[in-house]
Amino acid sequence: MTGYAVVLASEELERVQAVSMIASVASMSDIPVEVFVTMNALNPFEKKAVENMDFEGGRVAKAMMEAEDVSVPLFTEQLEQAREIGPLKVYACELAMDLMGTELDDYVDVFDDTLGVSGFLNRAKDKQIIFV
């Protein structure tokens, strides 16, 4: 096993945060991680969603956003910080973007590139796959 390939297919903030935490800490610990953001999971990465903190989520997401005494680093900040230090690649799904008519410019600056299924499978070949 030489790292993790994570498929993030949910826009639920709790899942997005959990993926960014695991991916960020793993890569900062020198474990290669590829994150493939697909389907509705692209929504929370849109610039306007992040600007307005407009996320889907449940009890933990609510507690996270309302917390006053502590600040939980948002997934975008975690990924940005981790990408500077460790072997972390984050890709946006071409298919979902085509369907929604979005471009990389519509998203916060955490993506290395867009990617299709074959590209993801190639990068995942030697890795443990985590589907969220």
Partner 1 sequence: MADIEADVTVDARGSACPGPLMDLIGKIKSVDSGTVVELLTGDEGSKNDVPEWVEEAGHELLDTVDEGEYYSIYVKKS
Q: Which residues bind partner 1 (CB under 8 A)?
A: 21, 24-25, 28-29, 67, 69-73, 78, 81-82, 85
Nearer of residues 29 and 122 to partner 1, judged by Cβ: 29
3-state secondary structure (DSSP) of residue 130 = strand
CB 92 within 8 A of CB 107: yes
Nearest to 115 by CA among 32, 28, 8, 24: 8
Supply the minimum distance, in Å, between the C-beta of residue 115 and partner 1.
Answer: 25
Supply the minimum distance, in Å, between the C-beta of residue 37 and partner 1.
Answer: 19
- The residue type found at 104 is L
Structure tokens at 78: 């975690």
Supply the minimum distance, in Å, between the C-beta of residue 82 and partner 1.
Answer: 7
Supply the minimum distance, in Å, between the C-beta of residue 66 and partner 1.
Answer: 13
Nearer of residues 75 and 120 to partner 1, judged by Cβ: 75
**Count of Cβ atoms closer than 10 Å to residue 79 Cβ:** 27
Nearer of residues 5 and 23 to partner 1, judged by Cβ: 23
Q: Which distant-in-sequence residues (6+ apart) come within 8 Å of 70 by Cβ?
A: none
